[in-house]
Amino acid sequence: MRYALVTETWPPEVNGVALTVQGLAHGLRARGHAVEVVRPRQPGDARSAAEDGTLATLLLRGAALPRYPGLRFGLPATRLLARHWLQAPPDAVYVATEGPLGWSALRAAARLGIPVASGFHTRFDHYMRDYGMPWLEGTALSWMRRFHNRADATLVPTLELQEFLQARGFERVVRLARAVDSAQLSPSSRDDALRAAWGADAGTLVAIHVGRIAPEKNLDLAVRAFRAIQRQRPDARFVWVGDGPAREALARANPDFVFCGVRRGAELARHFASGDLFLFPSRSETFGNVTLEAMASGVPTVAFDSGAAREHLVHGVHGALADTDAGFVDAATRLAGDDLVLRAMGRAGRTAMLRLRPEQVAADFDALLAALARRGDRHAALAA
């Protein structure tokens, strides 16, 4: 089969969408398919393309995303994509992002009769609230519904999100589970020298947050939870891995926090595994890959009861699920007070993640796209 994956974000950009789409692309390629990635051009693309040597890449014009340094969005390219796919038509297209390039891909595929699956990765309706525009939540959801209902299937990572979208008029919503690379992310990557650089010894509790440092991540709650932890463990440290528009203000207000910047690959694994308690206060995630990454690294997690946490984290076994801000803070302080419980939860979370295999996700994704392609062939034959 020949598949095209359209995305407006791609590594070295670090976010859940970019890493998920890259994993899907390489998973399809490992299964023997021809895979083309369509995305905006990035600085240093000659090197990036060489690193992804097994993937054909169509680079298009893009522009910087306001308020998000280092991220870009694609510019409209319907005619270009239609000409390109007319010459070498894919059997199916996956559109991962709802920006101008994503809309262009939907229109071009429709003109050529190519089946399309879309991916629902980001709750832009929640972002409206986080950026001070709650009156636009309904408009954002309506806009996303129009986008995704033009596709032949909309892929979501959890049953919770599938039911939410179906109840709001989204059609043909299909669950595609996620997995985590437990070979790379492992408790064996724990590094005492790194912890010492953070000012932590063997008995110091290290709380960690991994992800974009941005308003939609509800980071004030993570700070409140850590300050509560500090009242019972004054030597505790809070380590932040990632970057984003809120980092400067957060660092200025909390000079005792440790900021490590963006980390990838083995370095990310080392940072994750060197923490003791992962605080994930975001309420805007469709999934939250970092929840699985923390569990694979043997780090107990405190998160809200949604997304990946609801799907995979068992309360009291792998960490704690919260329903309210007060519950989040209470859970964090309770777990932070018992090192033996933390270690047992870390082991249990690691064991649970070993059952999730990226190869199975790739196989399921392949089967879904292949089914759309077969259905498209039948429709074309009937039309002829």
Using the CB atoms, write b or e for 21-58: b if 16+ within 10 Å: bbbbbbbbbeeebbbbbbbbebeeeeebeeebeebbbb
Segment holding 266, helix H or strand E: helix 265-273
β pairing state of 34-40 and 56-60? parallel
pLDDT digits (tens, 9 = 90+) for 321-373: 999 999 999 999 999 999 999 999 999 999 999 999 999 999 999 999 999 99
The structure tokens 């879309």 sit at 118
Q: How far is CA 207 from CA 168, 240, 279, 301, in A?
A: 37, 9, 7, 10
The structure tokens 């101008």 sit at 100
* DSSP E strands, 182-300: 206-210, 237-241, 258-259, 277-280
Checking if the pLDDT of 144 tops 80, the result is yes
Same CATH fold, 187-353 and 2-179+357-383? Answer: yes
pLDDT digits (tens, 9 = 90+) for 290-317: 999 999 999 999 999 999 999 999 999 9
Average pLDDT score over residue span 62-80: 80
Helix or strand or coil: residue 96? coil
Helix or strand or coil: residue 319? strand
Judge whether 260 and 241 are in contact, CB under 8 Å. yes
The structure tokens 């996620």 sit at 178
* pLDDT for res 124: 65
Checking if the pLDDT of 384 tops 60, the result is no
Tokens of 5: 């994956």
* pLDDT for res 70: 63
Checking if the pLDDT of 42 tops 60, the result is yes
Average pLDDT score over residue span 32-58: 79
Partners of residue 64 on adjacent β-strands: 72
Tokens of 380: 């074309």
β pairing state of 206-210 and 173-175? unpaired
CA-based torsion, 147, 153, 156, 162: positive or negative: positive
Structural domain boundaries in the chain: 2-179+357-383, 187-353
Task: Please name which of 261, 205, 209 lies closest in space to residue 237, comparing C-alpha atoms.
Answer: 205
Helix or strand or coil: residue 284? coil
Checking if the pLDDT of 127 tops 90, the result is no
Helix or strand or coil: residue 37? strand
Tokens of 63: 């522009």
- Nearest-angstrom CA–CA distance, 355 and 311: 13
Checking if the pLDDT of 119 tops 90, the result is yes
pLDDT digits (tens, 9 = 90+) for 1-14: 999 999 999 998 88
pLDDT digits (tens, 9 = 90+) for 233-287: 999 999 999 999 999 999 999 999 999 999 999 999 999 999 999 999 999 888 9
**In sequence order, which residues have a C-beta less than 8 Å from that of residue 383 and are 6 or more positions away?**
none
Lowest mean pLDDT among 49-53, 120-124, 367-371: 49-53
Range 2-179+357-383 classified under CATH 1.10.3720.10:
no
Tokens of 346: 């870390």
Helix or strand or coil: residue 70? coil
- pLDDT, the chain, mean: 91
β pairing state of 72-74 and 62-64? antiparallel
- Nearest-angstrom CA–CA distance, 178 and 132: 31
* pLDDT for res 131: 59
Partners of residue 60 on adjacent β-strands: 40
Fold classified for 187-353: Rossmann fold (3.40.50)
pLDDT digits (tens, 9 = 90+) for 187-207: 999 999 999 999 999 999 999
